[in-house]
């Protein structure tokens, strides 16, 4: 098929590259000239493992091209995916201006019967707005579908190529048949394509992410209680995760969720509910719990180190999760702001996110070339992101480099008894404090 993806950010780029991988002719269109020029030279605007090879290979074989000429890209398409950003407004609602603008362009420039697919994360009712926007200008038949993405940053290629399920909202037989053909290569092992009505597909995306965010906040709250009652949250996590009704995923406690999806999607769903006067009390609590959880690392540093003015604090991990350079809503940002406000000097390391951190924070912190370099002369280390390279460090080397042997482990990477035996002051999430 001839496919156009409008928007070449995280979602659009993954969608375009993966659809080209299965033999489709794909054009990724974007108004950002610098981004498109970079992509033509295989310079990606994001870090996502494996994506660069997909982009490079499919460009070389002529299946994937990039352009700023959105009108031309729409005119050649059989299917157009809308994959532009939907940033949150001040009230938490999704900003749909870019989505509707693209829909209007589709109506103006389509040259044949077209399937229009909303891939951006959009609230319930957006498909109807897209249909109206396309219809204002269209002179040919079109079919609107909703196809929410379920891509985990750091594993997006695997998620797209081997999905747990594909959710597609349709309103016509033509839309259903085209989308079934398009996704057939990805579900050969029997994973389902779930066809449903448009509002249900839109709701599924928000409900899924809100459920995962709820599990994270619930487990963080349990971890906080474990600390004061003497329980070990790791044992509790295994105990409840072995229940087949619950399962083990998303039960790891930490410093709070971040990234481009969970915070935005929870806020947007809460906002949608308010518009319809339906209270979502559980999600209100999830947001409150997550905001509070991001303060806990700072409180632990103060408890272990004392007054912070003039102290040097090392941070391992700046991205909100490993295998990405995404720092949106990262717990590290909250911690760094609190440390700087308290008068501490911050030196940080991250395997991938250092350029993004420097873009955001400039010279307000020190950027270390390695994790061990960050420790030199520091009064404490705070582990914020669970990158693999932080999981099995040289502990004697760490202790030698630190001015004080203090480790605040926001991801429970290390064994508390071992850290105690090595002479560290060690504090983690939901496991108490060890000296």
Sheet-wide strand order for 425-428: 366-367, 345-349, 312-316, 380-383, 406-409, 425-428, 433-434
Is 304 catalytic? The answer is: no
Alpha helices in 91-172 (DSSP H): 97-109, 126-135, 156-161
- Read off the tokens for 86: 């939907």
Spatial separation of the C-alpha atoms in residues 344 and 357, rounded to whole Å = 18
For 121-135, b where at least 16 C-beta lie within 10 A, e where not — what string? Answer: bbbbebbebbbebbe
Spatial separation of the C-alpha atoms in residues 102 and 6, rounded to whole Å = 8
According to DSSP, the residues that pair with 427 across neighbouring strands are 408, 433
Spatial separation of the C-alpha atoms in residues 215 and 294, rounded to whole Å = 16
The residue whose two tokens read 């105990």 is 239
CA 340, 342, 345, 350 torsion: positive or negative?
A: negative
Residue 196: burial class (beta carbons within 10 Å; 0-12, 13-18, 19+) = middle
Q: CA 87 → CA 97, 104, 264, 369, distances in Å?
A: 10, 19, 8, 33
Which is the catalytic residue, given 18, 28, 145, 261? Answer: 261
Q: CA 41 → CA 8, 224, 233, distances in Å?
A: 14, 48, 47
In this structure, are strands 425-428 and 433-434 parallel, antiparallel, or unpaired?
antiparallel
| Residues taking part in catalysis | 261
């Amino acid at each position: 098929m001839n496919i156009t993806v409008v928007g070449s950010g995280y979602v659009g780029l993954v969608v375009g590259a993966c659809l080209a991988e299965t033999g489709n002719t794909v054009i990724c269109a974007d108004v950002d000239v610098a981004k498109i020029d970079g992509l033509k030279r295989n310079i990606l605007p994001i870090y996502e493992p494996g994506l660069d090879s997909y982009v490079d290979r499919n460009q070389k074989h002529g299946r994937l091209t990039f352009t700023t000429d959105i009108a031309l890209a729409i005119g050649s398409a059989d299917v157009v995916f809308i994959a532009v950003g939907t940033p949150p407004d001040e009230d938490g609602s999704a900003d749909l201006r870019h989505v509707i603008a693209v829909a209007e362009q589709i109506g103006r420039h389509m040259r044949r019967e077209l399937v229009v697919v909303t891939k951006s994360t959009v609230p319930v009712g957006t498909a109807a707005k897209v249909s109206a926007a396309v219809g204002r200008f269209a002179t040919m038949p079109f079919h609107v579908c909703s196809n929410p993405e379920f891509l985990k940053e750091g594993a997006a290629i695997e998620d797209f190529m081997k999905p747990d399920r594909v959710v597609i909202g349709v309103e016509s037989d033509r839309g259903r048949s085209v989308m079934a053909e398009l996704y057939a290569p990805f579900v050969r092992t029997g994973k389902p394509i779930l066809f449903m009505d448009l509002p249900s597909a839109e709701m599924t995306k928000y409900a899924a992410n809100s459920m995962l965010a709820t599990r994270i906040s619930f487990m963080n709250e349990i971890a906080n209680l474990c600390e004061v009652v003497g329980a070990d949250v790791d044992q509790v996590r295994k105990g409840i995760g072995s229940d087949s009704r619950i399962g083990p995923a998303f039960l790891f406690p930490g410093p709070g969720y971040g990234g481009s999806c969970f915070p935005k999607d929870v806020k947007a769903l809460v906002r949608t509910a308010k518009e319809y006067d339906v209270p979502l009390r559980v999600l209100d609590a999830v947001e409150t719990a997550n905001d509070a959880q991001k303060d806990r690392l700072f409180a632990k540093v103060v408890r272990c180190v004392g007054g912070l003015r003039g102290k040097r604090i090392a941070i391992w991990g700046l991205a909100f999760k490993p295998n990405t350079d995404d720092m949106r809503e990262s717990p590290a940002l909250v911690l760094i702001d609190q440390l700087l406000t308290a008068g501490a000097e911050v030196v940080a390391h991250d395997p991938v996110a250092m350029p993004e951190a420097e873009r955001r924070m400039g010279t307000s912190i020190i950027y270390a070339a390695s994790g061990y370099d960050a420790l030199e002369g520091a009064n404490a280390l705070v582990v914020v992101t669970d990158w693999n390279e932080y999981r099995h460090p040289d502990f004697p080397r760490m202790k030698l480099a630190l001015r004080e042997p203090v480790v605040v482990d926001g991801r429970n990477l290390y064994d508390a008894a071992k850290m105690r035996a090595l002479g560290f002051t060690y504090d983690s999430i939901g496991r108490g404090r060890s000296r």
